[in-house]
Each structure stands twice: as structure tokens, then as C-alpha cells.
Structure 1
Amino acid sequence: MTFALPFEQIPQVPSRRLLGHLHLIRKNPVEFLRLAQDRADLCRMRLGPTRAVVVSSPRLMHEVLVERHEDHKKSRAIAIFARGLIGQSVFSSHGTRYKKRRGFVAPAFKANVVGRYADAIVNEVDAMLLRFGSEVSIDSEMHEITLRVVAETLFHTSVASDVPAIEDALTRALQAMNGLIGQAIPLPPTYPTKHGLKLRSARRDLDRVVYRIIRERRASGRDEGDILSMLMGARDEAGEGLDDEELRDEVMALMLAGHETTASALTWAIQVIATDPVVQARLTQEVDMVLGDRTPTFADVPKLPYTLAVFKETLRMYPPVYLNGREPMVDTQLDRYAIPAGTLIFLNIYGTHRRPEVYPDPDVFRPERFLGDGEKQLPRGAYLPFGEGPRVCAGNHFALMEGQLVLARLWQRCKLIAPSGKMSDPWPSFTLRARPPVRMRVERRTQRTSQLPAKDRFALS
């Protein structure tokens, strides 16, 4: 380690409040993250007596998440609040426990496995389209469809009747977690506060469903070809598998990650397409040229690059996981500054994704950034919707495929119109949600782009 400047010399976002930046983070975390990004690659922040810094550059992101990942653990604040719902899962654990859990979960999301879930995704889109009237609340619909997809791929069809109860309990749990994180005095979920009790109640309701499904599956001995069966059959090097409590934790983490984050991203993507005529024309023409009137399958995924680029650019501008955290286990150094062990390191994903030197005109939606070799040319640590390094999201391939297929099937069958013609405001909660409700008008498509006169087609290049 080279000579390091004292922690107190790290640039700080201005604040005149007694508790430092807590008021701004609680009021508008996106505004704070933009301020931190504009201030410096590494910013100091005040959270009462707690030492904390914000990292907002690709270089330092890569250093923390990849080059020196063994020196950092999951932020204790994130781990404590997350464990109130998902226990000691792959998302919230560290060290040996994390490596074991990751070894169990990762095989279920290999690229050659996720393809089998494509038909389930498209089927759920078709079921949703049957529910559509002339106007819909897209944020609600995306939360319902992603939960149904997770239920199908996690539990097979046996849990279909439990989807409403799961959705209600997950919503209450997320509301409680948001309340816990936003407390002036951040008491953990184990304390009997209003939000702590609400989280425990929601967890009990979820546990009743999940444990029942685990018991029934163990009793049947069936392999349904779903993720639950894969997790039940997984064994470590010592031949040990997951017990019921460990299974419950992983299932809950997968439900939360696969449902909430994808729903948020899809809501933003649909708004972008509906409010940008150029993006909408190009996506619609690609879908028509590749699919025509037939139902999309997994084999069509690589044939829809622009649709995928739209989803990836959405994840850049509106990353569902807009903020993450790490904590150094030993005294260390970032950039030129000393970072004491135990310092909270906030990873500013939202701000890093809007660095103008990496993404010219960062506030402009340009899917072309992710066509051809565009993504390969990005600096390491510049694009982090799924994290980076050993803790990169195991379900990233699944999430990208789901987003791509949902958008393609929607615009193949209908056109969604934003009455206001404008994007929603960000509503930072557990994920970066669009401020609800996000209402859209629905027009059923009766004419394909290929049937239009040549002058009315959008030229693909």
C-alpha cells in the first residue's frame, strides 16, 4: 500500500445537517447519487457517527468488486436488513457460506439451462395480454407477470394458485424493508418497531407457502425440472445438500431478485419505448421481421439484438439495483485515501452508469451503445446492472432473456401508448421503481411493419 492521505481529506458532498447526508438520502437518494458523481470518483459522506464513502467511477468499482473483492464483504447494513426477509441466502451471506450457496444456485442459471424457461415466459405474456383492457397499469402488470414467471420456473405450475398471496406478502415485505432502511435510527428487523413487525408478518405468510411447497416436493420425490428440484438435488464436495431452512432462504432470495428487479426494469423499458418514436419503430420492425405472426421461442433470442439492446440501455439508465454496498474487513486504501476497516462503501451504480466520459450524452437513451462491439469497448466496471466479479448476479442470463422476450411479445401483439408522452419520475425504494401508477393505453396491432409502404418503414442499419 502506497502513502495514503487521511480519510478526512476525501472530498465531501456539502451538508449542513447534524446527521450529515441522511436527510438527503431519505428524501431523494437519486439526487444524492448524482451530486456524489459530480463531486468526485470517491466522496466522503456523513451518516451521524458512521464513516461512509461513495464510489462513482468504473475504475474504483472494478477495484472493489473484482481486484480486491476478498478484502471486502457485503455491507453489514444491507445484509442485516435483507436477512429479515431472505435469511442467510446467497445474496446476504459471505465467505465460505457464500461460496457454498453460490455453488448450489449457479447451475440453475447456466446459459444452456435458462433456455428451457423461454416458453413459460412467453405463455405468461400471452395470459397477461388476455387480461389487458383499453388501459392498463404497467407497473402492476409487470410485477404480476414477473412473479408468475418466477413461480413457474421456481416451483412449476403447482404454485399458480398461491401467486396472489405471494405477491401481497412480498409487497408488504418490501414496504417494511424500505421503512426500516429509512429510519432516522436504523434499528434492525429484529426490533419490534412498526416496520419490523410488518416485515415479520409478511415473512410468516411467505414461509407458510414456501415451506409447504418444500414439504410436498420432498414427499413426492418428483423432479419437476424447475429450479427448486435443482436446488434439492445439489450437493457440495462433501455430498451435503441444503436443508429446508437453507432451501427456504434461497427460494426467497430468488423470488425477490427475479420478481422485483425485473419488474422495475421492464416498467422503465416499456415507458422508454412508448415515449420514443424512433426506438419504438426500430424495435417493432425487428420484431416483425424476425417473428412475423408466430410465437417467439428461445431460438429467436439471438435474432433480436435491438430488442436486447433496448433492455440493456434501460438497465444502464434505470438500474433496478441502483446502489450497493461493501465494507472493508481490514484497513485499506481507495484512490489516494486511507479507508479504515468497517467503513461503509456505497457503490453508486446509478451515477457510474451516467459518466459522460464513458457514455456520451449519458441522459439520452441510445440502445446503439449495446449493438455490435459497443459493450465490449466499455471500461471495466462501467456497466453494473448485475454487479461484477465473483458476486455477479447468477441470474443475469435469465433476466436478460426474460426482458427481451417480454418486450418482443408485447410489441408483436400490441402498441402501448403513454398518455402524457413523458417518463415517470424515479421512485427509489428497495429498487429504482417508476413512480406509480404508470398508466398506458393499449392498441392491438393488426398490421405488421412489413405490410406498410416502404416510405413508412424504419430503416434498420
Structure 2
Amino acid sequence: MSGVMYVLTEQLQAWSAGLTCVTAVIVTGAALVLTWGGWASGRSVDVPGPPWLLGFGPLMSFARFIWMGVPVAAAHYGARYGDFVRVWIAGERTYVITRPSAAWHVLKSNNYCRRFGSRTGLSTIGMYQNGIIWNGDDGWRVLRGFFQKALNADTLNRATSAAVDATYRQMGNIAVLQQKTADGKIEALDFLRRITLEVTNNLTLGVHIADPDDLVERIVRYFKAWEFFLLRPPIMYLMTPKLYWKHCQAVNDLNDAIAELLTNKRQELKTVPPSDKPDFATCLLQAEERGEVSPAHVQQCVLEMLLAGTDTSSVSMYYLLVSVAENPQVELKVLEEMRDILGERDPTKADLPQLVYLEQVIKEAMRIKPVGPVIMRQAKEDDRIDGIETPAGTNIILNLADMHRRQDNFPAPDDFNPQHFDNKDFKGEYVPFGTGPKGCIGQFLAMIEMKAIMCTLLRKYHLRAIPGESLEGIETHWDIAQQPVNASYMYFEERN
């Protein structure tokens, strides 16, 4: 009976959240229609999109993005109006782009280094003019320098062995993880998160993490809070107080954990002689002592390094494992390549560029199931994109998920086929990490990490997906990231 009541309560809460979401958007939109004449100037006759309808067009498009999430709404408008669509978000002109040439222009230009979102919401999670991921202030370039220095050639040289060692350590726990379920499957995503957390910590922070599982859980909850706060108008916080405080607590929980890690790091630096190759956290703390960065920037940069290095990388790895598990012929070909190049030894950095087929498999998994299905930017100055006027302040949504499935670039785009990347040099057609001045700094580390983990894991285990569960069939929550909704179980079967 208690289970039935729980389900009914959850369903009522979902209906209530949906009703308050629509109500909040209507109230907010109505206020904007009455007070912001600028909406009318946002109309455009040369770009297809939903009609104005006396202000209800902007209102309904904003409601759709909040209710559906950014990627799903972007896909909806792209399917309906084409590869360059005009919509409105919070009363602001927004272009949804699936055209590769237009995406390439946006990514490569310094004019689109700013991302858009709710100022109140971004401030709540510490990302407004802080850190680097969503920071539109000019100061992001200074902070980005710390990330670039941390992910230099020396770090990449150490990354392979760090990933191999972390994978071996976590593989030692597989038997224990299998015992937690009746049929021996394991929670693959949690397993991968422990690996990526260890690699990120060893390469960039060098701190003792007393409870890795707790820190991983805090990172996951922070990510959900980020999605909650990104676009919602503040009035919706009043209409969904339970969700609001839940996500505020998630932000506070992760910040408390980061603050404790930094306190320990500061104490360590007082007793340990400085290294000639200081890690990411040390460089930030030394810059803080010199007055070059604020404590808030240090806190947020360390948080974002852990966030991207742990969660985004592990979800990409999970989709990769499922891709290989449901394509046995792909797994056999990867194993054959590993035998030819590695023999019986562990991979080294010099080996990884030779694993060409494995890299194609990784790229194809990221194409089929991108963790980051959209890239959000904003024009700082007036511009033209593919001949289309783009006034300053225009929001841009690059719909990567659909752009990576264009049939003119990827024959049979819905099929998993690593040969899509045979002898091809894509530009705007395939940009899973972005590119240009705000492209993903960690993309080279991510590729090294995924190759090293796959080599180590596949040597000992055959991967098998849950019967009836495919990569396309995994239920995901689509917003700024495409995260699995349910537990991510898989079978790891030890090889003879």
C-alpha cells in the first residue's frame, strides 16, 4: 500500500510541477509582453519560425523550452521549420541552428564566447561571471588559462597510466558490485564515475577524498540543479518551492565538499615544498595568494573541473560501453586491433594514436548519443550568420544532436557504424567537444581517458547489455546534458 501511495504522490507532484511551470511561464510572459516592447522588434521575416500571434508566439516558445528542455524543444523547431530557425526565449530572439556552416561560424568566432541563461539562476549555482563554463565576463579568459596549463602535454603524458591504474583499482571491486544484484549485473555508470573521479583528482587536484561515492552523488545532484536553474524565471521558484530548495541544497552540498577539499589543500601546501610542476588546484591557490583571482573563482573552477572531469566523461564512457556491448562484431574488431598493437601489455600514450578503429568507435558513440546535445551561445555584437542578420544579444542554440545525424554527412545516420569516420576530416559537421575560443579544454584528455579505460576493461571483461536495452532505447533526461534517467546496469563477464 505504501508503494502505491508513493507512486500516486510522485505522479501528483509531477502534474503539479507541470501546471505551475505552464502558469509561471504564462505569468512571466504576460508581464514581458506588457513591459518589453523589444519583443516586437525581435520579429524576422527572413528566418522561419513560429508566428508572432500578438505575443503568444514568444510566450509559447519560451514555455516549450522550459517544459521540454532545451535539446528536445530545439529538435522540435528544427524538424518543423528547418536548419536555421527563429524562436524566443525569455523574450529574446533566439536562433536554433542545425546547419554545419552556420555552426562552424559561431564556434570559431570571438563574438560568441558568451552563453545565455537566467542571471538569477546562474548566480544561484555560482556560474554567473564565475568559473569558465557559463562565464560571459572577459575574466573567463584568465581563468581558462589555468585549465589550459593544467591540461598541458605533461598531464596528457601521465593521463594514460592514471586511467589504466584507476580502472584496475575499480575492476578489483567488480565482484563486490556484482554481489549487490541477484543476477550479477553492475551499475556501470557509477563504476565509471569512480574511475573518472580518481583520474581527475590524480591529474589536477591531488587531494585526499575520504568518501568518493558521496562526492560523486553531490556532483550528480549539482548537475540536476544546474539544469533546473538555467532558464527558469525567478517567479517559478515561488511556485515550486520544494524543487527550488532541493536544488539549492544540492548546490550548497557540493560547494561544502569543495571548500573542505580546498582547506585540506591549503594546509598541505603549508607543509610540502612547492613543486616545479604544480597541479591545477595549487596554481589557483597560489594565484589567490597573489591577489590574481578571488576565492570564489578558485572554488568554482575546482568545482567545474570535477564536474566536467567526472560526470560528463563517465556518461560518455557509459554510452560507449553500451554501444560496444550491443555490437559484438565491433567488440571483436576492437580486441583484434588491441592484440595487434598492444599484445599483452597495458597501453601507453604512444600506443593510443595507433588505435584508429577504437577512436572511430568512440566518435561514433558520441555521435549517436552525445552527452552535450546542444551548445548555447550569445552574440556580443551585430553579425551575419550565413547571410542572416544577427543583432547583438541574439541567443544561439547549436543543435548538435540533430546536426550529427544529417544524412548528407552520415549515411544511415541512425545506425551505429564506426566506418562513418573512415578517412574523413569533419569540421562543422561533427563537433562533439565544440571548437574555437570556447571549445572543450578537456577534449584531448577525454579521448586518452576513454581509450585507456576501454583497453584495460575489454582485455579482462566481455560487455553485455541488459536484454532488450539498446543505446537508442536508454531513457534519458534531455537538457544541457543527456543523462540516463534510470540505473545504468550492464553485465561484465570475465573472459577465459
Task: Name the TM-score, length of structure 1 as normaliser.
Answer: 0.84
Q: Is the 8 A contact 1:296 1:405 kept in 2?
A: yes
CA distance, structure 2, for counterparts of residue 313 and residue 256 of structure 1 = 24
Q: Which has the higher contact order (CA 8 A, sep 6+)?
A: 1
Go from structure 1 to structure 2 and tell me whether the alpha carbon gap of 1:332 and 1:102 turns closer, same or farther (over 3 Å shift): same
Q: Give the structure 1 partner of residue 456 of structure 2.
A: 409
Q: Give the structure 2 partner of residue 26 of structure 1.
A: 67
Superposition deviation, residue 42 in structure 1: 1.0
CA distance, structure 2, for counterparts of residue 228 and residue 181 of structure 1 = 27
Q: Find out whether 1:92 has 2:134 as its counterpart.
A: yes
Q: Give the structure 2 partner of residue 437 of structure 1.
A: 487
Instruction: Determine helix, strand or coil for the equivalent of 1:160.
Output: coil
Which amino acid in 2 is paired with 1:7?
S
Say which of 80, 83, 107 aligns to 1:41.
83
Instruction: Determine helix, strand or coil for the equivalent of 1:262.
Output: helix
Superposition deviation, residue 360 in structure 1: 1.7
Q: Find out whether 1:426 has 2:476 as its counterpart.
A: yes
Go from structure 1 to structure 2 and tell me whether the alpha carbon gap of 1:86 and 1:28 turns closer, same or farther (over 3 Å shift): closer
Superposition deviation, residue 403 in structure 1: 0.8
Q: Find out whether 1:166 has 2:215 as its counterpart.
A: yes
Which amino acid in 2 is paired with 1:227?
D
Q: Give the structure 2 partner of residue 452 of structure 1.
A: none
Go from structure 1 to structure 2 and tell me whether the alpha carbon gap of 1:335 and 1:80 turns closer, same or farther (over 3 Å shift): farther
Q: Is the 8 A contact 1:316 1:353 kept in 2?
A: yes
Q: Give the structure 1 partner of residue 110 of structure 2.
A: 70
Q: Is the 8 A contact 1:260 1:431 kept in 2?
A: no
Q: Find out whether 1:175 has 2:224 as its counterpart.
A: yes
Which amino acid in 1 is paired with 2:168?
D
Go from structure 1 to structure 2 and tell me whether the alpha carbon gap of 1:13 and 1:406 turns closer, same or farther (over 3 Å shift): farther
Go from structure 1 to structure 2 and tell me whether the alpha carbon gap of 1:182 and 1:257 turns closer, same or farther (over 3 Å shift): same
Instruction: Determine helix, strand or coil for the equivalent of 1:297.
Output: coil
CA distance, structure 1, for counterparts of residue 346 and residue 113 of structure 2 = 44
Superposition deviation, residue 131 in structure 1: 1.4
Superposition deviation, residue 273 in structure 1: 0.4
Deviation string 1:151-206 (CA, Å, 9 cap, x unpaired) is 222222x42324233212212212222222364757699x9832552244224422
Superposition deviation, residue 275 in structure 1: 0.5
Question: Percent identity at matched positions?
Answer: 21
Say which of 353, 356, 378 aligns to 1:302.
353
CA distance, structure 1, for counterparts of residue 50 and residue 322 of structure 2 = 32
Q: Is the 8 A contact 2:84 2:95 kept in 1?
A: yes
Instruction: Determine helix, strand or coil for the equivalent of 1:442.
Output: strand
Instruction: Determine helix, strand or coil for the equivalent of 2:453.
Output: helix
Q: Is the 8 A contact 1:267 1:434 kept in 2?
A: no
Matches within 5 A, 1:391-410: 391-410=438-457
Go from structure 1 to structure 2 and tell me whether the alpha carbon gap of 1:86 and 1:313 turns closer, same or farther (over 3 Å shift): farther
Q: Give the structure 2 partner of residue 454 of structure 1.
A: none
Instruction: Determine helix, strand or coil for the equivalent of 1:342.
Output: coil
Q: Is the 8 A contact 1:83 1:92 kept in 2?
A: no
Q: Is the 8 A contact 1:108 1:114 kept in 2?
A: no
Q: Is the 8 A contact 2:121 2:231 kept in 1?
A: no
Q: Is the 8 A contact 2:433 2:439 kept in 1?
A: yes
Which amino acid in 2 is paired with 1:51?
R
Superposition deviation, residue 387 in structure 1: 0.9
Q: Is the 8 A contact 2:341 2:354 kept in 1?
A: yes
Which runs of 5 or more residues in structure 2 are unaligned?
1-41, 179-183
Instruction: Determine helix, strand or coil for the equivalent of 2:209.
Output: helix
Instruction: Determine helix, strand or coil for the equivalent of 1:7.
Output: coil
CA distance, structure 1, for counterparts of residue 407 and residue 283 of structure 2 = 42
Q: Find out whether 1:329 has 2:380 as its counterpart.
A: yes
Q: Give the structure 2 partner of residue 152 of structure 1.
A: 202
Superposition deviation, residue 445 in structure 1: 0.8
Q: How many positions carry a matched residue from both structures?
A: 432
CA distance, structure 2, for counterparts of residue 80 and residue 283 of structure 1 = 47
Superposition deviation, residue 419 in structure 1: 2.4
Q: Is the 8 A contact 2:325 2:465 kept in 1?
A: yes
Go from structure 1 to structure 2 and tell me whether the alpha carbon gap of 1:161 and 1:235 turns closer, same or farther (over 3 Å shift): closer
Say which of 109, 114, 125 aligns to 2:167.
125
Superposition deviation, residue 278 in structure 1: 1.8
Superposition deviation, residue 274 in structure 1: 0.4
Deviation string 1:361-387 (CA, Å, 9 cap, x unpaired) is 22122222334x31x2x2x32221111
Superposition deviation, residue 210 in structure 1: 3.1
Q: Is the 8 A contact 1:176 1:198 kept in 2?
A: no
Q: Give the structure 2 partner of residue 456 of structure 1.
A: none
Superposition deviation, residue 243 in structure 1: 5.0
Q: Is the 8 A contact 1:328 1:342 kept in 2?
A: yes
CA distance, structure 2, for counterparts of residue 130 and residue 383 of structure 1 = 37
Q: Is the 8 A contact 1:71 1:330 kept in 2?
A: yes
Q: Is the 8 A contact 2:209 2:261 kept in 1?
A: no
Matches within 5 A, 1:195-234: 195=246, 197-223=248-274, 227-228=279-280, 231-232=283-284
Instruction: Determine helix, strand or coil for the equivalent of 1:104.
Output: helix
Superposition deviation, residue 107 in structure 1: 2.2
Q: Find out whether 1:101 has 2:136 as its counterpart.
A: no
CA distance, structure 2, for counterparts of residue 65 and residue 186 of structure 1 = 33
Which runs of 5 or more residues in structure 1 are unaligned?
447-461
Q: Give the structure 1 partner of residue 14 of structure 2.
A: none
Matches within 5 A, 1:338-417: 338-371=389-422, 373-374=423-424, 376=425, 378=426, 380-417=427-464
Q: Find out whether 1:56 has 2:108 as its counterpart.
A: no
Task: Name the TM-score, length of structure 2 as normaliser.
Answer: 0.78
Deviation string 1:120-175 (CA, Å, 9 cap, x unpaired) is 2111111221111231111222222212221222222x423242332122122122
Measured on the aligned residues, the alpha-carbon RMSD in Å equals 3.1
Go from structure 1 to structure 2 and tell me whether the alpha carbon gap of 1:82 and 1:267 turns closer, same or farther (over 3 Å shift): farther
